[in-house]
Amino acid sequence: MRFRRFANQSIFLVLFAAAWAVTATAVQAEGMQPAVTQLKVDKPQRVLFMGNSYLYYNDSLHNHVRRMVAASGIYGLKEMKYKSATISGGMLFDHDIDSYLTPGKLRVKGPFQVVIMQGFSAAATKKGHPPKFEATVAEFAKKITAAGGQPALYMTHAYTKNHKKYDPKMIEAIEKLYVGTGNKVGALVIPVGLAFEEAHKQRPNLDLQQTYDGSHPNLHGTYLAACVVFASLYGQSPVGNAYDYFGKVDKDTAAFLQKVAETTVNGFFGRK
């Protein structure tokens, strides 16, 4: 009898330990923290954006970030060399990164100090694609580092209800993929997707994505993304930045999006 009771207790402990391990793993996955919280280079001047239509919509994200940097007084427009390499409907592995990193190939003297990689919209949710994304980022990160730059990942936003593949948990998969991959390769993860989620929560009636597809960013979405990229790369709050895309983003909306970006970036990186 004593042996049976001991055996039952042992089995219980083993099952409990297994359940605890699974729970702990789930908690860690849900609360993943970025290993890289700031760039090694202070205030980069040479930045390459690499992705697809998520970047080139609305006059291209790199233009907005560059103008925001100039408006902040960090650099003048002519002091920065920002380039954007995008492929319509492209996936990260479609890019010929070797050509981008070749010195002088894009008429940029010196290596890119930061290369921002953006995966396609369903990289985290489409069957078989997360491993491809991870492998591509790992390969590209090595090449970027060898060329004298630092890799960064642009965390994409989730689809809205207007998209046929809308999933309220999509952002969780995106965050897990981007943070997990970024931590493995030592890349700075730029939490754009999380900022979109926060903005949707605070102002659900403010569209950040094109209503016809529930996917691509509209001007407000691109502006928010620019604020997040600016704050992540330069360690400076976008709140109060005068850039408003030549008056096309109204003051109230600009202030709101700037604050969302500040809150998201500070919370994500643990900044004060």
Nearest to 157 by CA among 180, 137, 136, 173: 173
Domain residue ranges of the chain, discontinuous segments joined by +: 1-31, 44-269
The model's confidence at residue 192, banded by pLDDT at 50, 70 and 90, is very high
Calculate mean pLDDT across residues 15-34. 45
Note the pLDDT of residue 16: 34
Q: Is the pLDDT of residue 22 over 70?
A: no
Q: Are 54 and 229 in contact (CB under 8 A)?
A: no
44-269 fold: Rossmann fold (3.40.50)
| 271 burial via Cβ count (<10 Å: 0-12, 13-18, 19+) | middle
Q: 109-130: per-residue pLDDT in tens?
A: 999 999 999 999 999 999 999 9
Note the pLDDT of residue 127: 96
Q: Is the pLDDT of residue 31 over 60?
A: no
Q: Is the pLDDT of residue 3 over 80?
A: no
Calculate mean pLDDT across residues 60-84. 98
Kindly give, in sequence order, each residue whose CB lies less than 8 Å from that of residue 54, ignoring residues fewer than 6 positions away. 61, 118, 121, 154, 156, 216, 217
Q: Is the pLDDT of residue 34 over 70?
A: yes
